[in-house]
Amino acid sequence: MINAISIDLEDWHHPELVRRHVRGDPRPQAREATERILLLLDRYRVKATFFLLGDVAARDPELVRRLHGEGHEIASHGMSHRPLWELSPSGFDEELKTFGRLLRGILGEDVPLRGFRAPTFSLDDRTKYALACLAENRYLYDSSVFPFRNYAYGVMDAPCGIYRPDFNDLRGTDERSPIVEFPLTVYQRGRLRMPVSGGFYLRVLPYPLIRRLLRDVNRTRPFVIYFHPWETFPGTPRLKSIGAKDSFITYHGIDGCLAKVEKLLRDFPFEPMWDVIRRQVR
């Protein structure tokens, strides 16, 4: 079983709990933070999927060319990092079109853009219109549905494995759907569901537990790990103004995160999202 590795490439000031507290023009760190990840991937000879934020690509086209040149898959994380809850269908469509123009300008007309991940996993019952927008813009897969509900996002009871979603019901499947959904991985046992493979959960859970749960997931399906360059980078500014709870959610475990990613690379085989999906669906 080969699993998917994905990096949501945004800068330290983009996350939902941080962006409202940032003043002035923040100093970019996305390139520095991403370079350490690229070295690690190279050492393990693994290609990944980078869900790239348009705002970062526009500031650093050289970084985009490097990712593409090193054989990683380029996918979209939108333009502005505004969650889909804040965008209308036409606003979302405009973001996809602007992102497409930007990437074709950097990488050439024939760059394939197949995958999308919504900022803050904001694709849920309120924003399922996004699937039709993605299909109209010729995307082939989405990886935004979190089949677990927490304080901010998630679609409880959505399928846990790769599926073709019914555009009117994210919990339902439709074999004719033009979009494949690769949900964020949760461990499932009976009615229990537990996120395990990325972001806050990757930073906060002890590695031996993560490994045990992911091995269990691998008995029936591939998993996807996800993380952000800023959450693996010791130099990420820690804003005190976001408050104690949001600070814990956003910054806890940053210093040990890249070491956990390395252990995952050592213990499991990985490839880009699209390669995993191609093997799983007809």
**DSSP, res 163:** B
| Region near Zn ion per CB under 5 A, out of 115-123, 140-148, 174-182, 252-260 | 115-123
Work out how close the CB of 108 gets to Zn ion at its nearest, in angstroms, rounded to a whole number: 26
CA distance 17 to 15: 6
Give min distance, CB of 97 to Zn ion, in A: 20
Residues 10-39 within binding reach of Zn ion (CB under 5 A): 10
Provide CB contacts within 8 A for 171, sequence distance 6+.
Answer: 155, 157, 158, 159
Which part of the chain contacts Zn ion (CB under 5 A), choosing from 119-127, 139-147, 149-157, 163-171? Answer: 119-127
Q: Minimum distance between the CB of residue 179 and Zn ion, rounded to whole angstroms?
A: 20
Contacts of 200 by beta carbon, 8 Å cutoff, 6+ apart: 249, 250, 252, 253
Q: Please name every residue paired with 115 in a beta bridge, in sequence order, or none if there are none.
A: 141
Q: Helix (H, G, I), strand (E, B), or coil: what is residue 108?
A: coil
Element spanning 247, H or E: helix 244-251
Query: Which of these, 269, 280, 281, 263, lies nearest to 47 by C-alpha position?
Result: 269
Q: How far is it, in rounded angstroms, from Cα 14 to Cα 21?
A: 10
The distance of closest approach from Cβ of residue 117 to Zn ion in the complex, given in angstroms and rounded to an integer, is 7
Q: Which residue's CB is nearer to Zn ion, number 12 or number 268?
A: 12
CB atoms within 10 A of CB 54: 22
Per CB under 5 A, 8 contacts Zn ion: yes
Whose Cβ is closer to Zn ion: residue 15's or residue 272's? 15
| Residue 119 or 222 with smaller CB distance to Zn ion | 119
Q: Which of 78, 83, 119, 222 binds Zn ion (CB under 5 A)?
A: 119
Cα separation, 154 vs 278, whole angstroms: 25
By C-beta, is 8 or 271 nearer to Zn ion?
A: 8
DSSP state of 198: B
Residue 119 or residue 198: which is nearer to Zn ion going by CB?
Answer: 119
Q: Would you say 188 or 232 has its CB closer to Zn ion?
A: 232
CB of 85 to Zn ion, least distance (A): 14
Residues that bind Zn ion (CB under 5 A): 8, 10, 119
